[in-house]
Chains A and B, each alone.
Chain A
Amino acid sequence: MQEFEEEEKLEIVQKFPGWKEILKPTTEMKKGFYSYAATLRDQEYLNLPFPREWSPLDEDWKLPPNWKEIIIEKMDELRKKYRSFQVFMDICVRCGACADKCHYYIGTGDPKNMPVVRGELLRSIYRRYFTKTGKIFGEWAGARELTEDVIKEWYLYYYQCSECRRCSVFCPYGIDTAEITMLARELLNSIGISQRFSLISAAACVRTGNHLGLSPGGVVNSIRYAVDDIKEITGVDVEVPVNKKGAEILFVTPSGDYFAQPHWFTFIGYIMVFHELGLDYTFSTYAAEGGNFGFFHSFEVAKKINQKIYKEAKRLGVKWILGGECGHMWRVKHQYMSTYADETYEDALKVLEEPVNPVTGTVFENASSTKMVHILEFLADVLKHKKLKIDKSRNDHLIVTHHDSCNIARGMGLYEEPRFVIKSVCNHYYDMPDHSIREKSYCCGSGAGLLADELMELRMRGGMPRAMAIKYVHEKYGVNHLTAACAIDRAAFPTLLKYWRLPVQMGGITELVANAMVMEGEIERDTDLRGNPLGEYLEVEI
């Protein structure tokens, strides 16, 4: 983790240039705000157009000679393929309701981080090449020429958007900057411009089945460590099926859970809960990843990664699929998965059935087509039916608040399940202020491929509104534990909380469930899942 100097002071300089100034491309690649370029290896492995070595710091980005025609053609193609694109380009009235809803705008003060202006970066080009007024009146119609500087500006600012959709909640027409960002990244990809961080993970996922690039043996080793940990903490021998044909449920989780901290405690939590419930489930080494970093890049890479789960469900002959705690994974699983899938889905339907919870008999009607259920929906159902023996007092040292991760909040509507689950296993729970939870939740600042280390300053600034809401409940209620059902959050928050000097630890929700769960045949526990003395809160160093 990067260390921060005590004296370091964050200054937010708000700038308000005129509209003519806004039309001029900003190309200064400031440290902490621009992403590194994709490696040649990843570009080649994923068969991306115009693979080459380049750097955003270079004067010459080695664009293909006809890059301009490619972009214009691609824009024309995309506006016909995506109604969202055409409509969002046409109907923005620039009312400004979105302006201060972006956490990056709040944290940086950079006018081009206002969602309306982020949209204008693309809209100005759209006007110039696809509208009469833009062609005739040019600048006075808010149009501008497509130049290499515009491409640089796009790269800079469309990789400063975490696709959190918060602006879309407040927009009177529902204009979704996440959608605009996705299509802008698609445009950039068409001339061979991709970001390093998300492509490393995406390429690894295509190759090995998970973002971390773990080989099947690596996945199995992780699970082995998990069962050892469980034995040490609880004394219970837990067996975990992997690639088991004929299992009822295929369990898929973001690969960060396999060994990152604090994901790990959630990971062993899943396994403990499944064991206690006696689920007939299996992990898969082929579909070892729930997330989809291709989603942050382009349609094709997203599809490449997406197909694995249905293929594996078919191969193993499972009845339905259970998904772990992850954010963008659930945006994809909920809104894209079955749409991306073509014959792989029809094929999988031969074995898949409407998900039924084998423990409670509950039919998950809301997942009747995709056949994939969120772990929190599953746990809420299990806990409601009191199928687990819970000792809430084991979590009494924790004063908990919950962060609604962008994607499962605004891309799925999962608000009550996490709260029900947490309140079922914890005695102390407080929500953060209204403006910062549920559909108004602030992003952690590191989503959509922005978890890269080189974007550290942007991430710390973008995470500020969230951090300040945590600070509020920390000071008011003594909150010392933050939960989030998102692997990116679990990776981003420890750094963010440390930067903003908040002595709050963070973790997933299943961790709390497993910690409070009394297992059959368990020894008297003297530590929690983190290995801390049971019931004792170890102060987080800040």
Chain B
Amino acid sequence: MSVLGTLVGVVIPYVAAFIFVVGVLYRIFTWSKCVVPFKIPTTCGQQKSLPWLNRTFMDRFDSPYTNWETAVRMLMEIFLFRSLWKNVRYELPAQTAVSTKWLWLFALTFHWSLLIVLIRHFRFFLQPVPDFVNLIQGLDGFIEVDIGWLWFQPHVVHIMVTGLTLFVALLYLTYRRLAFPRERTFSLPSDYIALILLLCVAVTGLLMRYVIPVDVAQVKELAQGLLSFHPPASPDLHWLFMLHLLFVSLLLAYFPFSKLMHSAGIFFSPTRNMPNNNRAVRHINPWNYPVKGVDWDEFYENFKGDMEELEQMGYVVKPEEV
């Protein structure tokens, strides 16, 4: 057990964390090195033009003019999934499109749940546990349930809502790729890998909370040891926790090579992070180079006859005399 313990408990997490940090930074570095030649926001609302024109509150952010409006647009995209909220489904025989919010609902549920679950995990790494972590933990787990039926004896637990919503949302996101014909068509193996890894992490986590409790004190000891770079030589923890840790490590190591990088990439998306003030603030293309076209003199030479006639007309076109 001890060699395996060292491997899964210490070596793999460190390697995975290293790949994660370096990989993500490398990808972000690559993106920031690419230049942005044009200002191409997708304008989803009325532009700022004439001051009296009807421009709704949301137009300001769907078609932002200033930098702070653009920042709000980004925040709404990141925290509320504004664009997914707009989703519609085209109904073919009826030839209309109806609003559909399922993807928005489950995607948002998944991401928010994941965020809160991650924050809750801070309690393993930080001593003393910060107040906000305790607060979130308390809010998340306000439902107390006796799951004695599972245990054949009274057993009261706090239901962590986000853990369950995370799991349910993941199930839906997997289900739609398998069951909907369109989604099945464009889903690649990598799309399933991400979902499977996340599901494995979630399932092992849920099992530890509700079915096979593990010694949390030991877990915390290991987490803090890893964080302070003084890990125990051969941690000997419950197999279920080790499995959980292994899946988390795999997920971290896989992260920079995968589409999961969208979490950082959205900040670089030029159709969302640029203001729609193109005609007021000129954008400079750093690699712009001159291209020779036909200039006036050449044009004049080519059409000399026409141009001379135009000169005789005094550059004015008048109606024919009747």
Contacts and interface: CB of A to CB of B under 8 A. Distances in A.
Contacts of B182: 16, 96, 99-100, 111, 114
B189 A141 contact: yes
A224 B272 CA distance: 46
Contact of B38 (A94, A173, A335): A335
A169 B86 contact: yes
Nearest to A165: B42
A81 B37 contact: yes
B204 interface: no
B282 A338 contact: yes
A86 B37 CA distance: 13
Contacts of A90: 27, 31, 259, 261, 265
Contacts of B295: 311
Contacts of A345: 282
B107 interface: yes
Interface stretch (B140-148, B150-158, B307-315): B307-315
Given A106-B90, A243-B315, A365-B280, A97 B40 contact: no
Nearest to A115: B186
Given A94-B187, A94-B188, A240 B50 contact: no
Contacts of A425: none
A215 to B, nearest CB: 5
Interface in B238-297: 257-259, 261-262, 265-266, 268-272, 276-285, 287-296
A304 B315 CA distance: 26
A362 B86 CA distance: 35
Query: Which of B27, B95, B97, B307 has most chain A Cβ within 10 Å?
Result: B97
B310 A242 contact: yes
A325 B44 CA distance: 20
A305 B291 CA distance: 10
Interface string B43-82: 1111111101111000100110100000000000100010
Interface residues of A, number: 129
Interface in A76-101: 79-88, 90-97, 99-101
Contact of B306 (A132, A165, A215): A215
Given A94-B188, A439-B45, A339 B270 contact: no
B317 interface: yes
A196 interface: no
A116 B186 CA distance: 8
A436 B88 CA distance: 11
Nearest to B287: A81
A17 B45 CA distance: 36
Interface stretch (A31-39, A63-71, A231-239): A231-239
Contacts of A54: none
Contacts of A18: 184-185
A439 B287 contact: no
Interface in B81-123: 81, 83-84, 86-90, 92, 95-98, 103, 107
Interface in A371-408: 372, 377, 380-381, 384
B282 A339 contact: yes
Nearest to A238: B319
A465 interface: yes
Nearest to B52: A384
A531 interface: no
Given A170-B87, A417-B53, A84 B271 contact: yes
Contacts of A336: 38
Contacts of A97: 83-84, 87, 103
A179 interface: yes
Contacts of B77: 172, 174
Contact of B185 (A17, A85, A132): A17
Interface string B181-223: 1111111111100000000000000000000000000000000
A96 B261 contact: no
Contacts of B257: 131-133
B34 A80 contact: yes
Given A335-B38, A369-B281, A435 B81 contact: no
Nearest to B87: A97
Contacts of A303: 291, 293
Nearest to A364: B49
A140 B193 CA distance: 11
A499 B272 CA distance: 37
Given A172-B81, A340-B288, A99 B270 contact: no
Question: Chain B interface residue count: which class?
Answer: 35 or more
B1 interface: no
A468 interface: yes
A231 B191 contact: no
B299 interface: yes
A117 interface: yes
Nearest to A439: B44
A244 B316 CA distance: 8
A342 interface: yes
Nearest to A282: B315
Nearest to B43: A413
Given A97-B83, A217-B306, A80 B35 contact: yes
A25 interface: no
Contacts of B52: 384
Given A342-B288, A367-B279, A410 B320 contact: no
A253 interface: no
B36 interface: yes
A206 B180 CA distance: 49
Given A179-B40, A307-B293, A366 B277 contact: yes
A533 interface: no
B303 interface: yes
Nearest to A335: B278
Contacts of A140: 189
B209 to A, nearest CB: 28
A216 interface: yes
B40 A176 contact: yes
Given A100-B89, A242-B316, A286-B299, A206 B288 contact: no
Contact of A174 (B42, B283, B322): B42
A16 B182 CA distance: 6
Given A207-B294, A228-B320, A243-B310, A173 B190 contact: no
29 contacts: A14-B181, A16-B185, A80-B35, A83-B36, A86-B31, A86-B34, A94-B191, A96-B182, A97-B87, A170-B83, A170-B86, A172-B84, A173-B272, A176-B40, A216-B303, A220-B313, A227-B317, A242-B315, A286-B299, A300-B291, A311-B295, A335-B278, A339-B39, A366-B47, A368-B279, A381-B50, A413-B46, A417-B50, A439-B62
Q: Top 5 A-B pairs ranked by shortest CB distance?
A: A413-B47, A91-B265, A413-B43, A174-B271, A435-B97
Interface of B: 27, 30-31, 33-40, 42-50, 52-55, 59, 62-63, 65, 77, 81, 83-84, 86-90, 92, 95-98, 103, 107, 176, 180-191, 257-259, 261-262, 265-266, 268-272, 276-285, 287-296, 299, 302-303, 305-307, 309-310, 313, 315-320, 322
Given A224-B317, A416-B55, 14 more contacts: A19-B185, A93-B191, A97-B87, A142-B190, A172-B81, A175-B269, A179-B271, A285-B303, A335-B38, A410-B44, A414-B49, A416-B54, A433-B96, A440-B97
